Amino acid sequence: MTDITNIYKKYQAQTFPSPSLLHVKSASGSYIKDYDDKEYLDFVAGVSACSIGHCNKQVTTAVKNQINKYSHVMVYGEYIQDPQYKLAKLLADNLPESLSTSYFTNSGAEAIEGAIKLAKRINKRSEIIYCKDSYHGSTHGALSVMGNEEYKSNYRPLIPDCKQIIYNKLESLEKITDKTSAVIVETIQGASGFIEASQDFLNQLKKKCIVNNVLIIFDEIQTCFGRTGKLFGFEHTKIVPDILCIAKGMGGGYPIGAFISSWENMNKLTHNPKLGHITTFGGHPIGCTASYATLNYILNNNIIDSINEKEELFRKLLVHKKIKSISGKGLMLSLDLHDSIETIRVVESCMKDGLLLFYFLFNDSSVRITPPLTITNKEIEKGCKILLKNLD
């Protein structure tokens, strides 16, 4: 092991017994370069976060300009800061009227925490319903609504009154009652191999929630800003949530998240008590600047129009007897293989050949493909060739 690897492994807290140890020198567009100047085509994009490629010029320039003006000046919500209100307005311009008002956070998990608190304020109930195999983040509140017991069991007690239903199972919706505050759902489950919510399930969920005056929270932290071929995943479903959570790709590689609802709902956080939900760095001017530049870039460069075509190209090219199926939508694809040994072998050998792929948290027989939305057809062809060679 090199000195640097030793330092990294000893002094930096680890999350995984065998990390890939790619030592990043630089990253640009769809590529990451290591210190041997080896280039890796990136089919992971920082787990869906680097939505418009690495070091996008428009984002980098905007960030540099903002750094020269000011960085942190005050806790969230006190001062008028251009990057924050401009992003909030641009989001509102691209969302239904009932999702007009954004509260900015540092991360996806924090957006979930905020959404759960907001739901409790809106209907003064405590029960939160979540789906089996869901992932909403690693903080205690987000963990409480995670649909995987293995990841929760060491951390109990978690927040009370959280109940699990089965994703896409209509009978399961019976658990929603007039005691329920909110149901939290991913439009595409991100940790279990990109499983889409069925339209039928969402329609029935909506009906049940209307009857019982229950709020719908959509976790669009991984689907947001175009990854599924629409700006937000819920646009495929025609169902508008009461609270929308976004993060990851919204920052174009910079940390930011948001929970979004109507002005009336959001205004509840200003009183009884005042400052009932506060954050020091949430809505940081650099994150908001990056997100504003990212959203403008996506809107002004027809990025979303190209997603379906790119998905089709992936599906056309990735035909192999070892691929059982390809699930997911847009550039959020899961290669479902036959076993977990094969998954690890393919990811590791593709990396040796200069292609980055990744795993899923709750599904060890699938390979994650979430490239930057700006990936070119040529890059898709190049990456798929490497993948097919390593499947052989």
Q: How far is the CB of 309 from ligand PLP (least distance, A)?
A: 25
Between CA 108 and CA 20, with CA 336 as vertex, the angle to 5 degrees is 60
Residue 109 or 335 with smaller CB distance to ligand PLP: 109
If binding means CB under 6 A, how many residues of this protein chain bind ligand PLP?
13
Q: How far is the CB of 347 from ligand PLP (least distance, A)?
A: 18
- CA 321 to chain CA centroid, nearest Å: 30
Residue 335 or 386 with smaller CB distance to ligand PLP: 335
Alpha helices, DSSP H only, in 213-363? Answer: 263-267, 285-300, 307-317, 340-352
Residue whose C-beta lies closest to ligand PLP? 108
Per CB under 6 A, the list member of 46, 190, 328, 383 interacting with ligand PLP is 190
**Binding of ligand PLP by 107 (CB under 6 A):** yes
Q: Torsions phi, psi of 328, nearest 5?
A: 105, -175
Q: How far is the CB of 166 from ligand PLP (least distance, A)?
A: 18
Residue 185 or 391 with smaller CB distance to ligand PLP: 185
**Binding of ligand PLP by 135 (CB under 6 A):** yes
For the chain, give the number of residues. 392
Q: How far is the CB of 248 from ligand PLP (least distance, A)?
A: 6
Distance (Å, whole) CA 383 – CA 331: 14
Between CA 362 and CA 370, with CA 364 as vertex, the angle to 5 degrees is 80
**Binding of ligand PLP by 136 (CB under 6 A):** yes
Residue with tokens 């640009």: 28
Residue 120 or 248 with smaller CB distance to ligand PLP: 248
- Edge to edge, the sheet with strand 162-165 lists 101-105, 257-261, 243-246, 215-219, 180-186, 127-131, 162-165
Residues 21-60 that bind ligand PLP (CB under 6 A): 47
**Binding of ligand PLP by 186 (CB under 6 A):** yes
Per CB under 6 A, the list member of 42, 219, 235, 311 interacting with ligand PLP is 219
Residue 201 or 379 with smaller CB distance to ligand PLP: 201
Residue 27 or 256 with smaller CB distance to ligand PLP: 256
Instruction: Write out the H or E segment, with its range, that includes residue 4.
Output: helix 3-11
Q: How far is the CB of 254 from ligand PLP (least distance, A)?
A: 12
Distance (Å, whole) CA 275 – CA 252: 29
Look at residue 333 and give its three-state secondary structure.
strand
Instruction: Write out the H or E segment, with its range, that includes residue 28.
Output: strand 24-28
Contact stretch for ligand PLP (CB under 6 A) within 165-173, 216-224, 260-268, 319-327: 216-224
Residue 29 or 114 with smaller CB distance to ligand PLP: 114
Residue type, 256: I
Per CB under 6 A, the list member of 109, 231, 286, 303 interacting with ligand PLP is 109
Per CB under 6 A, the list member of 46, 137, 233, 372 interacting with ligand PLP is 137
Q: Is 72 exposed, middle or buried (CB count within 10 Å of its CB: 0-12, 13-18, 19+)?
A: exposed
Distance (Å, whole) CA 187 – CA 210: 18
Q: Going by C-beta distance under 8 Å and a sequence separation of 6 or more, which residues neighbour residue 60?
A: none
Distances 141 to 30, 136, 169, 369, 382 between C-alpha atoms, Å: 34, 9, 24, 28, 41
**Binding of ligand PLP by 222 (CB under 6 A):** yes
**Binding of ligand PLP by 314 (CB under 6 A):** no
Residues 225-264 that bind ligand PLP (CB under 6 A): 247
Cα atoms in the Cβ-side hemisphere of radius 13 Å centred on 160: 2
Q: How far is the CB of 190 from ligand PLP (least distance, A)?
A: 4
Q: How far is the CB of 14 from ligand PLP (least distance, A)?
A: 17
Residue 30 or 192 with smaller CB distance to ligand PLP: 192
Per CB under 6 A, the list member of 44, 185, 202, 221 interacting with ligand PLP is 221
What are the residues binding ligand PLP (CB under 6 A)? Answer: 47, 107-109, 135-137, 186, 190, 219, 221-222, 247
